[in-house]
Amino acid sequence: MNYVIIGGSAAGVTACETIRKHNKKSSITLISDEKFPLYSRCLLTYLIAGTIGEDKLCFKDKNFYKENDIKTYLGKKAVSVDRKERRVSLEGGTKISYDKLLIATGATPKSVDVPGVDKKGVLTVRKIDDARAIMNMLDNVKEIAVLGGGLIGLRDAYALRQRDKKVTVIVKSPQVLSQMVDMDAARVIASVLEKNGIKIMTGVAAKEIAGDKSVESILLDNGERLACQLVIIGKGVKPNTELASSAGLKVEDGIVVNEFLQTSDKNIFAAGDVAETYDIARESGRINALWPCAVEQGGIAALNMLGKKKTYDGSLSMNSVDFFGLASISMGITKPTLQLRSGSVVSEVEPPKEEKKYEIISRTGENLYKKFVLKDNKIVGMVLVGDIKTAGIVSALIKNKIDVSSIKDILLDDDFNYAKIMPLVKKFGDKFGQEEFNDTVITY
């Protein structure tokens, strides 16, 4: 068997690892358009911030490919897939045959449609080369504008602030993290960012990026002009679906897959940021471009490529951030009145009748916000700011759709902890899906 994997990040690498774990003999080939192997994209902002060096960027041992006997084409882009011949063509003409193919081509930062966006000093943070470029500029940069107040924009801003730069975040929506959390949580998070010297401007957009060759300032649609020597576009990502589309695979927001992560071609699988999978909380297809989802999907796709029928329960949107010691986690449906779909906010308010189906419990304190969204007595989403210790426990309740009516009124408590769900574990046992749950209640 020839297993070919396109994409060398979380999904692709996990797939290689999983295939090799179960099959010592078959040939595994990994194709990546990046030269630097096995690095974790999510760590790039930590690299920019100076928290870690390049030596800490890898999420696997540097001999991983060698030790697992994986043939690699690094720095080579896959340009087409011939499904009939079961062949992948790389730029430069190399052709690689496959029996089973995994497309884990990931995503690309979205750009903005603003004059001057092509100037020197306008960058995104996705690849290691982007991070290196920014770090090379830092000595000559005092002021930085970050376009986008979402997760990516804020992470970029936070990293650069740690380099003692004057950072302004320009946010189109009336709040930061509008896709991740509600207004109340956003307020708590924004206030910590501002207290630590990051300027946040909401409800404004960039109108023009000005400068001779390189960026010198940015003009906003409220008429204000900010001096800046670096503009970071942190607006989110779009899936790299071109390869799949051109091969004639079914693509909607991302590559459409079934519960085995199989595309419309039974020999081709997709995983990670490019795959549109079943979203557990929303009960519909969605791209959840997240590291944990990519790892899990890579592993499950690999098992299915090996012919071991393994169902993917679905993905769950979830994010964890920590800004200046204020930790926040969001998961699932956090703003039930907004239809969130695949990274693009459609500010379509659901009919009030629908809204009534959701029950919201929340609590606010100093640097603290907790909110749970319930539907039919099952938790479908949460936001935790400041105190995140129960996030994982709740994630299990969301994932496994556990009826929480009996613990609803203690969910917000400071001392909510695993013990509080033990009666549910005892009652619903196998619904929790992991044998370890039963281990905890043997004597309960």
Residues in the site for other proteins, rule: CB under 8 A?
A: 10, 40, 42-43, 46, 51-52, 56, 58-60, 291-292, 295-296, 299, 318, 320-322, 325, 327, 329, 331, 359, 361-366, 368, 388-393, 395-396, 408-410, 412-415, 417-420, 422-423, 432, 434-437, 439-444
Q: Calculate the CA 381 to chain-centre distance.
A: 16
276 is written with which tokens? 């549109």
Nearest to 227 by CA among 144, 128, 139, 153: 144
Question: What is the C-alpha to C-alpha distance for residues 180 and 293, in angstroms, rounded to an integer?
Answer: 16
Residues 6+ apart with CB under 8 A from 88: 4, 6, 31, 78, 80, 81, 82, 95, 96, 98, 101
Closer residue to other proteins, CB minimum distance, 38 or 176? 38
The contacts of residue 414 (CB under 8 Å, 6+ apart) are 387
Q: C-beta of 221: minimal distance to other proteins in Å?
A: 34
* Contact present, 90 and 32 (Cβ < 8 Å): no
CB of 14 to other proteins, least distance (A): 8
Distance CA 214, CA 203 (A): 26
- Tell the smallest beta-carbon distance from residue 341 to other proteins (Å): 23
How far apart are alpha carbons 12 and 275 in whole angstroms? Answer: 12
For residue 322, the minimal CB distance to other proteins (Å) is 6
Of 200 and 424, the one with the shorter C-beta distance to other proteins is 424
CA atoms within 13 A on the CB side of 50: 9
Q: Which is nearer to other proteins, 97 or 440 (CB)?
A: 440
Nearer to other proteins, 35 or 56 (CB): 56
Of 77 and 363, the one with the shorter C-beta distance to other proteins is: 363
Which residue's entry shows tokens 């379509």?
A: 348
Q: Please, what is the minimum distance in Å from the beta carbon of residue 135 to other proteins?
A: 17
Instruction: Give the shortest CB-290-to-other proteins separation in angstroms.
Output: 9
Task: Give me the least distance between CB of 305 and other proteins, in Å please.
Answer: 18
The residue among 22 and 225 lying less far from other proteins, judged by its C-beta, is 22
> In whole angstroms, what is the distance from residue 233 CA to residue 231 CA?
6
CB 279 within 8 A of CB 244: no
Q: Toward other proteins, which CB reaches closer, 250 or 389?
A: 389
